């Protein structure tokens, strides 16, 4: 089920046409961007990212869903980032990836290099807003952690379009972040999909992670079982937005 937009560039509902129906998509502070060395400013005040309760117990259950644009896992409201000016509570995580023929699908690029895939852990400012729907269009509403992946996820994430939701056992979400949480890029940006609200404080980790197939087993099993019940279907791939103009934004780095 496509809600009136897709990722293909020049197609009538593709990303080149998002601004016609979603004006913010053609506005300021858009994401993703190319994290270019020449552009970076070292900021010694950027502290290591600290996350709370990312190590979920398998006794807990998470909901896995697919809206036709990505696959997302709802997260425990116990999970948060504590090292920013406000506390940001986790809401969901999702991925952007390429395809088997072109295993390059990250949204942020580093000196124009596109990684195989990118994980986004979406949090909302729970000091100021009661829930994510209230926070989503506020300038200080969201904080997303971005993690570049070097290994393509398509083998486990090649599932079909479906509105189904399944419960999966929780696992250690910290294992989806790189070991070093002190080295990252930081800038003010937006949602990378319509309606492209300029509401996201972006943190993109410097170090990519490589995950084994095994680490994705929980997700994969759920996806395959969702898939099996779905006959008329369409594969979901290349769900990334092109990089956007940096304009006069400051792009900070926590490292030299």
**Span near ligand SG5 by CB under 6 A; candidates 3-11, 69-77, 162-170, 244-252:** 69-77
Residue 256 beta carbon to ligand SG5: minimum distance, rounded to whole angstroms: 28
For residue 132, state whether it binds ligand SG5 (rule: CB under 6 A): yes
Q: Binding ligand SG5 by CB under 6 A: which of 75, 145, 157, 191?
A: 191
| Binding of residue 226 to ligand SG5 (CB under 6 A) | no
Rounded (10°) CA dihedral 33, 38, 39, 40: 100
What b-and-e string marks burial along 137-170, b requiring 16 or more CB atoms within 10 Å of the CB?
Answer: eeebbbbbbbbbbebbbbebbbbbbbeeebebeb
3-state secondary structure of 61: strand
- Per the annotation, the verdict on 69 as an active-site residue is yes
Q: Is 28 exposed, middle or buried (0-12, 13-18, 19+ CB in 10 A)?
A: middle
Q: Is 193 in the site for ligand SG5 (CB under 6 A)?
A: yes
Q: Which is nearer to Zn ion, 108 or 120 (CB)?
A: 120
Nearer to Zn ion, 169 or 195 (CB): 195
Cβ–Cβ < 8 Å for 185, 107 = no
**Is residue 61 at the binding interface for ligand SG5, with CB under 6 A as the rule?**
no
> Count of CB atoms within 10 A of residue 38's CB?
5
What residue ranges bind Zn ion (CB under 5 A)? 120
From 13, 53, 63, 67, residue interacting with ligand SG5 (rule: CB under 6 A): 67
What minimum distance in Å lies between the beta carbon of 181 and ligand SG5?
Answer: 18
Dist CA 3 CA 144 (whole Å): 23
Cβ nearer to ligand SG5, comparing 30 with 151: 30
Which residues are within 8 A (CB) of 199 and not within 5 positions of it... i.e. 6 or more apart? 135, 136, 137, 138, 139, 140, 141, 142, 190, 191
Cβ of residue 81: shortest distance to Zn ion, in angstroms?
Answer: 16
Taking CB under 6 A as the criterion, the residue among 75, 143, 144, 173 binding ligand SG5 is 144
Closer residue to Zn ion in complex, CB, 67/255: 67
Catalytic residue, chosen from 17, 69, 94, 123, is 69
Secondary structure (3-state) at 142: strand
* Residues with catalytic roles: 69
């Amino acid at each position: 089920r496509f809600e009136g937009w897709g990722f293909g560039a020049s197609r009538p509902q593709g990303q080149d046409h998002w601004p016609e129906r979603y004006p913010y998509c053609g506005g300021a502070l858009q994401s993703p961007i190319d994290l270019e060395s020449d552009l970076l400013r070292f900021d010694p005040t950027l502290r290591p990212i600290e996350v709370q309760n990312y190590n979920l117990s398998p006794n807990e259950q998470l909901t896995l869903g697919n809206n036709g644009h990505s696959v997302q896992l709802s997260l425990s409201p116990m999970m948060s980032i504590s090292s920013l000016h406000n506390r940001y509570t986790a809401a969901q995580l999702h991925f952007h990836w390429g395809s088997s023929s072109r295993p390059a699908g990250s949204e942020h690029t580093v000196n124009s290099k596109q990684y195989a895939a990118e994980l986004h852990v979406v949090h909302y400012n729970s000091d100021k807003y009661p829930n994510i729907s209230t926070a989503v269009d506020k300038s200080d509403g969201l904080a997303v952690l971005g993690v570049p992946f070097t290994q393509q996820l398509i083998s486990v994430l090649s599932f079909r379009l479906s509105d189904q939701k399944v419960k999966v056992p929780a696992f250690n979400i910290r294992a989806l972040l790189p070991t070093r949480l002190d080295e990252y890029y930081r800038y003010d940006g937006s949602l990378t999909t319509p309606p492209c609200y300029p509401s996201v404080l972006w943190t993109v980790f410097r170090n990519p992670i490589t995950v084994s197939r095994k680490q994705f087993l929980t997700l994969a099993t759920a996806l395959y079982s969702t898939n099996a019940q779905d006959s008329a279907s369409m594969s979901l791939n290349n769900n990334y937005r092109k990089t956007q103009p940096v304009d006069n934004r400051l792009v900070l780095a926590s490292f030299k």
